[in-house]
Amino acid sequence: MRPELAAKLGENVPRYTSYPTSPHFHSGVDAAVYRGWLQGLDDGDEISLYLHIPYCDKLCWFCACHTKQTRHYEPVTTYLRSLHAEIATVASLVGGKGRVGAVHFGGGSPTMLKPEDMVALGTVLRNSFEFLPGAKISVEIEPNDMDDARLDALAEIGMTRASLGVQDFDPKVQKAINREQSFLQTKAVVEGVRSRGVESVNLDLLYGLPHQTRDSVSSTVAQALTLEPDRMALFGYAHVPWFKKHQTMIDEAWLPNSVERFAQSQIAAGLMLKAGYQAVGFDHFARSGDALAVAARTGTLHRNFQGYTEDRCETLIGLGPSSISQFHQGYAQNMPATAEYGRMVEQGGLAAVRGIELSEDDRVRGWIIERLMCDFAFSAIDLVERFGEIGQKLLLQASSVALRDPARLLELNGDSFVVPVENRPFVRSIAARFDKYFETGKAKHSVAV
């Protein structure tokens, strides 16, 4: 590997599931602003819903999600009352405008919910919002939670995509991250959702975990491929103990260095490509007929807080503590503290406490970053035609990046700026060149690869 690229492996940069990224949100976007954005939706708008379940019955030490461990169900019951209250308030403000094209249940562990609570949640959503025919319903599944009753409940709410966390099948790695989950457990859940008519299965794998080696990663990918998933996500473990204190349970001496992490990622990607999967962006893989792969080929791939998506809805409404909503005007984030979130919504209020309103410069930079992250390229002509004078200004910056960077991470090819194939693993670092907040911000981020 060229030395200048090897140096990029340990660079800390955002994942760019939004632009501007959440560390730059501020209290100027509050519940009043969020209320206006909800009321301003048009009848023809397509909406995505994200529901956050901030509880797990066992805390995985690698996790950087907003969640907490509970061994009792009472806090979950209390939380669900709050979530139902927020749904009612948001639906009343939307006032029947917009139609839901996608729903994503995330966490935490959504499958920790009792079957009857999951069914009730699905019912209240359909009673509160108008759903498009064929709306996609995706659920993040923790295999250790699953039984037949929960599988039946997920089928009843109309789940169309099951996303299973795998991480790594090696017992030593699993013990180090406090997530013990056998291959047979995972296989049983995959078979369970498919027997109930779910056609799309996604598996999440990680590299860069404690005690992981190239051999263990290869073995995990090989086992995962036998389950014939429709999609696979390959994420680098984000070690951020300053942000998530439970990650201090992982001894940093157990972690592979940046060069080893890169080798693990390339081995895993190579095995997926060899098995016939298409690369989607820099960390997803899909069967060629999958909607995500089709979107990647046709230039209609998008990126939001759930990662790569074929979801075309411009409006994303986040429900639950810490959830982020996305509108044409900007982003709004709910109160992260679960108890305080509950107090804010149970009397008919909204829980948005921070966010950011987009400037036209933000929109242009956000478009460039999304196209780089999705297509590894963007058209100079398209940039100027879409954004005029501000697009012209960013065109000059792109030209400077392409011509002056000795690493040649970005090249001008005809009328397009293109990330060469060999540099695609570093696309987050390239995107950061167009992030005006990055150099001045104080936020810490995970490593680039």
* Average pLDDT for the chain: 93
152 and 298 housed in the same domain: yes
Please, are residues 280 and 290 in contact by the beta-carbon 8 Å criterion? no
299 and 403 housed in the same domain: no
3-class SS of residue 74: helix
Pairwise CA distance, residues 85 & 116, whole Å: 18
Question: Would you say residue 327 lies in a domain?
Answer: no
180 and 232 housed in the same domain: yes
- The number of distinct structural domains making up the chain is 2
CATH code of the domain in which 5 resides: 1.10.10.920
Nearest in space to 159 (alpha carbons), one of 227, 101, 105, 228: 105
Model confidence pLDDT, tens digit, residues 152-203: 999 999 999 999 999 999 999 999 999 999 999 999 999 999 999 998 999 9
Please, are residues 229 and 245 in contact by the beta-carbon 8 Å criterion? no
Question: Would you say residue 76 lies in a domain?
Answer: yes
Q: Which domain does 7 fall in, by range? A: 1-17+359-449
Q: How far is CA 347 from CA 84, 88, 412, 432, 434, in A?
A: 12, 11, 55, 41, 42
Model confidence pLDDT, tens digit, residues 17-45: 999 999 999 999 999 999 999 999 999 89
Model confidence pLDDT, tens digit, residues 258-288: 889 999 999 999 999 999 999 999 999 999 9
Global confidence as pTM: 0.93
Pairwise CA distance, residues 286 & 231, whole Å: 4
Identify the DSSP state of 287. Answer: -
Question: Would you say residue 71 lies in a domain?
Answer: yes
55 and 7 housed in the same domain: no
For residue 169, what are the contacts with CB-CB under 8 A and spacing of at least 6? 181, 182, 183, 186, 219, 220, 223, 224
Least confident stretch, 49-58, 188-197, 223-232, 240-249: 240-249
CATH code of the domain in which 263 resides: 3.80.30.20
Question: Would you say residue 132 lies in a domain?
Answer: yes
Token representation of residue 70: 């509970």
Given pLDDT bands bounded at 50, 70 and 90, which one contains residue 2? low
Nearest in space to 277 (alpha carbons), one of 292, 299, 262: 292
Question: Would you say residue 159 lies in a domain?
Answer: yes
